[in-house]
Amino acid sequence: SALVEDDDTPVRWFRVNTLKITHIDTFLEKHFSHLTEVNSISKIKPGTIYKDQYIPNLYGIHPTTKLTSMHPYVLGQVIIQDRASCFPAHMLNPSSEEKVIDACAAPGNKTTHLATYVKNAKGQINAFERDIKRAGILKHMVERAGASSVTVNVGDFTQSNPTDFPLVTGMVVDPSCSGSGIFGRAYDEDDKEESYSEERLLKLSAFQATIVKHAMSFPAVQRIVYSTCSIHAQENERVVVDLLNDEKVKERGWRVANRSRVIPMWPRRGLVEEFQGKVEFPERVAGGCVRAMPKEDGGIGFFAVLFERDASEEELKL
């Protein structure tokens, strides 16, 4: 079997957990002052640290730099999370007053990242996870991160009743995918072929569209981030096309947000050719999506899109 060594990881990304650390500079000075700051990810080597320009409080270090044995890691003051995997919470950008749902939450990277925006204040995060074992890991991570605004629901999100959540206005939907953007996993070549077969990708994309459609039916929801760690258009742009052409989705006024709201400076966007002839304003729709290529873009392969709609007064008052 083809084992990709961990050394293949170009950058180890970690974010400072602002639920636990409020004075970031003092914290960095205390624990990371032995590292020299560099101004580009291509310059990251042992003994250096890089401050990301897209995601607040996110840092890149060389993968050989010890982190998991450090106190700040054990205490949940820093959380190891790939840069692209930080895009969804940043794109949703919930306020501290907002009620949001993380539909597919375990192990909880995005849930705990969302919690740093909601800030353990008035807002609330309902996290769903249908796998009992993984829900246990999620609970553990939520606790370690000190994310007291999070409630874990063990169960299938598609079976949840939208009217039970009349005040939820934002969602992150990060469902199971082929994982084709992930590297460093011990994939068997045969497994790999099976994982990325057209048949499997179609099955996954049908499930992914179903779960986002359910999210889109919640009465007061106005923003949804859909994401995958897949590089396959079937699970990404084609799911967006499917959704934008769905009658119920159209009726409720869902559209893809403008690039200006979706990490505008990130250069790699959705694939325009996947939208051409299939949706209105393909360039605009592609601009509302972000993509990351594995390794080349400093981490895992990833896709994310922000959907939005204007809810009526009546819907918001439910």
**Quick one: which of 129, 237, 242, 274 contacts ligand SAM (CB under 6 A)?**
129
Q: Which residue has the tokens 């699970």?
A: 235
Instruction: Specify the 3-state DSSP secondary structure of 165.
Output: coil
Shorter beta-carbon distance to ligand SAM: residue 21 or 152: 152
Indicate whether 162 belongs to the interface with ligand SAM (CB under 6 A): no
277 is in an annotated binding site: no
Task: Tell me 311's DSSP state.
Answer: P
Shorter beta-carbon distance to ligand SAM: residue 31 or 223: 223
156 is in an annotated binding site: yes
46 is in an annotated binding site: no
Residue 172's identity, in one-letter code, is: V
CA 200, chain centre distance (Å): 22
109 is in an annotated binding site: yes
Q: Is residue 24 within 8 Å of residue 16, measured between CB atoms?
A: yes
To ligand SAM, the closest distance from the beta carbon of 278 in angstroms equals: 26
Q: Name residue 251's beta-bridge partners.
A: none
Binding mask 287-316 for ligand SAM (x = CB under 6 A): ------------------------------
Q: Is residue 10 within 8 Å of residue 298, measured between CB atoms?
A: yes
Binding mask 174-213 for ligand SAM (x = CB under 6 A): xxx----------------------------------x--
In angstroms, the CA 123 to CA 93 distance is 12
Q: What torsion do the CA atoms of 229, 230, 231, 237 make, to the nearest 10 degrees?
A: -100
Q: Name residue 269's beta-bridge partners.
A: 290
Q: Is residue 92 within 8 Å of residue 261, measured between CB atoms?
A: no
104 is in an annotated binding site: yes
To ligand SAM, the closest distance from the beta carbon of 72 in angstroms equals: 20
Binding mask 63-102 for ligand SAM (x = CB under 6 A): ----------------------x-----------------
Binding residues: 104-110, 129, 156, 174
Binding residues for S-adenosyl-L-methionine: 104-110, 129, 156, 174
